[in-house]
Amino acid sequence: MAWRCTGRTNEELVANLASAGIVQSAAVRSAMLAVDRGHFMQADDTAHVSSTYHYGPYADAPQLIGHGVTISAPHVHALALEALAERIATDGSRVLDVGSGSGILLGYMATMAGIGSTIVGVEVVEPLFGQSVANLHRAGLQPGPAQHEGEAVNGASAVHGAVNGESARDAPSDTAGGFGNRLIVRHGDGWEGAAELGPFDAIHVGAYAGEPPAALVRHNIYEYVRLLIHMIQCVYTRRRGKRRPRSCVPLKVSTFAAGTGRD
């Protein structure tokens, strides 16, 4: 699949992904058309020319975006979105992107999200965290105030599962994000997740992990969550008060964020 869907424009790229059967649903197609990949790469990221590697925002290949990090190939994003589409599009859903990198997957998710949803991204590389917020603004999205690890949320202490003393799932939604939803980008350790903004219905982890990180599962999931980790996809259920994997299967994709494992 890699390299085969490169386009000259965002529209051509998405059309090629659809023709190849990678983009399958109307929701994913619409999101990838609405959020132009070109907004998530810097001008000098497209300056390379090669006969053996595709460079540029609409190349179906990972691209360096600074700080030793890549933005994943478009077909990788499409596969992740298709795997999580049902959860993302459900009204009131809470979706977490760990290792949110350039911010592009957050943009796609926010575009697909149902009414009253919360989309949260956590990025550990601080300069990239700031860059991703700027990228989202450039793409026409309006993330809420950027957050650093340990900062208060809506004026409340950042403690597990509470916003202003209420369950985060039951707390009133604000409209800081685009599309009438909350879109939040945070600098911090993604392995810990963002429990005070959850629990989450879907979690995407843009990094390789041999098994689901314990803290991420323990503090961040809802009763039934789809957890997509590069190379491993798991569905969790709650049994007798404990989160247990219902199924854990390797993804049949080996090109996730080649070299760094980051989005």
209: which 2 tokens? 């992990």
Neighbours of 17 (CB within 10 A): 25
- Interatomic CA distance for residues 66 and 200, integer angstroms: 29
85: which 2 tokens? 């589409």
82: which 2 tokens? 């298709």
Which residues are catalytically annotated?
72
- Residue 21 CB partners (closer than 8 Å, separation 6+): none
- b/e string for 195-225 if b means 16 or more Cβ within 10 A? bbbbbbbbbbbbbeeeebbeebbebbbbeeb
86: which 2 tokens? 């049902």
DSSP characters for 178-212? GGGSEEEEEES-GGG--GGG--EEEEEEEEE-SS-
